[in-house]
């Protein structure tokens, strides 16, 4: 019979960059006992993103960072919401350009991620933050 | 025991801009009686987006609008799909750069949104539209 | 009573471009027998996207391609992850700018897609690939 579980995962960041928390989610899936189901993640913030990306060559993430830093530069003169720092409005735009939700089916008691896929919290602010992700699991 | 509910929410727009409809979704969650669960929203259009963004300073949304208007300008000469107006193809590109689905866990009978998160329909067309969002709730 | 089904859909691509696989997903929904429910799709790759876009004028997809090709050009000198080809890092960035998950409610035994919405796999690599999409259906 189908059941559900709710969790909250906390991801501490040291400022802008990618933080792999795939293992935390896989552990929750393992603990649920679900052989098949669906995992949904929601990031409770508007200046960071949830991103599934390549977990092999770290240069991929550095190139992503370089591209977004050029596309939405800190201190961009177009922006008027500047009271929270040069990196705040760019963080909101980066979040709008990416995602704050992820939905991943579970099969054989694991997330159906591809071989090279990792789940990242992408911190867009320069300062360290404590980020909260709500996790919903449903399955059997 | 897990149950589900299906709804359709209609969001009228007055043209390009952000329309907060968080309360409509929270009301559906309240009516469902679900203490825990999952809410999924799907926008049935390709020239508007669903966006979770800061609901405090309205300047954040104006800056988002300024950024996207510069990134994908109306009347962009690169585009050939121009028969429906200068703002039509930019609207499709904005939609591709953002999202048309949202999935948010429910805890303590409410969406697990962060303190500053609102759910917005982002209308990309200049003319008013009636936008339809299908809402699926599952929980208990 | 709520039940779930898990599937894997394989989408062969002939290189960069849009591949409509809406019918494959609608067929799975029909086979499930679910009148109401939720369909979730997850693409198991980091250099292609899942996109819901207009299925009427094919020029819309060609304009999307033109825009993204200019925004994230192949051979972009900013990138250092270049060992897998000029189109590899741009493919990762395009994927970050779009989505790899889709969640669509089911009503009246069909996906609640809008009249002009199709589900596309957007291949970002130049070479042909075999892409895998995991599909989770829940409903009754």
pLDDT tens for residues C98-133? 999 999 999 999 999 999 999 999 999 999 999 999
Nearest to B112 by CA among B4, B2, B35: B35
Helices (H), B33-78: 59-71
Residues B7-20, mean pLDDT to the nearest whole number: 98
- Give CA–CA dist A96/A93, Å, rounded: 5
For residues C7, C12, C17, C23, the Cα torsion angle rounded to the nearest 10 degrees is -50
Nearest to C13 by CA among C48, C40, C55: C48
Nearest to C125 by CA among A86, A85, A54: A54
Q: Which chain C residues are Cβ-neighbours of B71 within 8 angstroms?
A: 71
Q: How far is A58 from chain C (nearest CA, A)?
A: 9
In this prediction, the answer to ipTM > 0.90 reads yes
| Secondary structure (3-state) at B131 | strand
Q: How far is B121 from chain A (nearest CA, A)?
A: 12
Q: How far out from the chain centre does Cα C110 lie?
A: 18
Report the residue count for chain C.
Answer: 140
Query: For A77-96, how does the pLDDT look when each residue is reduced to its tens digit (9 = 90+)?
Result: 999 999 999 999 999 999 99
Alpha carbon of residue B23 to chain centroid: 13
Residues of C in contact with A138 (CB under 8 A): 4, 138
Token digits of residue A90: 């760019």
Q: B132 in the Ramachandran plot: left (φ > 0), alpha (ψ -120 to 50) or beta? A: beta
Cross-chain residue pair A6–B107, CB shorter than 8 Å: yes
Reference B80, options A94, C65, C88, C52; nearest CA is C65
Share of chain A above pLDDT 90, in %: 100
Q: What is the DSSP letter of B56?
A: S
Q: Does A101 touch chain B (CB under 8 A)?
A: yes
Q: Quick check: helix, strand or coil at residue C72?
A: coil
**Among candidates C4, C8, C96 on the partner chain, residue whose Cβ is nearest the Cβ of A64:** C96
Q: Return the structure tokens found at A130.
A: 């404590």
C33 to chain B nearest CA, in Å?
16
- Record the pTM: 0.98
Distance of residue A115 Cα from the nearest chain C Cα, in angstroms: 8
Contacts of B96 in chain C (CB under 8 A): 51, 53, 64, 98
How far apart (Å, rounded) are the C-alpha atoms in residues B118 and A137?
Answer: 23
Instruction: Write out pLDDT tens, residues C39-93.
Output: 999 999 999 999 999 999 999 999 999 999 999 999 999 999 999 999 999 999 9
**Chain A residues lying within 8 Å of B102, measured CB to CB:** 101
Euclidean distance between CA atoms B79 and B89, whole angstroms: 7
Mutate to test the interface with B, among C56, C67, C101 (most CBs of B within 10 A): C67
**pLDDT band, residue C37 (cuts 50/70/90):** very high
The answer for residues whose C-beta is within 8 angstroms of residue B127's C-beta and 6 or more apart is B15
Which of C40, C68, C61 lies closest to C138, judged by CA? C40
d(CA B100, CA B40): 11
- B10 touching A, CB under 8 A? no
Judging contacts by C-beta atoms under 8 Å, the chain A residues touching residue C2 are 2
| Bridge partners for C56 per DSSP | none
């Amino acid at each position: 019979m189908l059941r559900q579980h709710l969790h909250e995962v906390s991801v501490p960041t040291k400022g802008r960059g990618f933080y792999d928390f795939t293992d935390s989610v896989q552990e929750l899936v393992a603990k649920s006992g679900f052989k098949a189901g669906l995992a949904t993640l929601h990031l409770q913030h508007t200046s960071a993103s949830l991103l599934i990306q390549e977990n092999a060559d770290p240069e991929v993430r550095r190139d992503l960072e370089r591209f977004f830093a050029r596309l939405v530069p800190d201190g961009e003169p177009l922006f008027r919401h500047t009271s929270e720092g040069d990196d705040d409005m760019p963080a909101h735009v980066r979040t709008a350009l990416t995602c704050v939700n992820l939905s991943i089916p579970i099969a054989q008691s694991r997330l159906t991620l591809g071989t090279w896929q990792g789940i990242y919290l992408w911190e867009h602010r320069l300062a360290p933050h404590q980020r909260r992700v709500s996790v919903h699991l449903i399955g059997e």
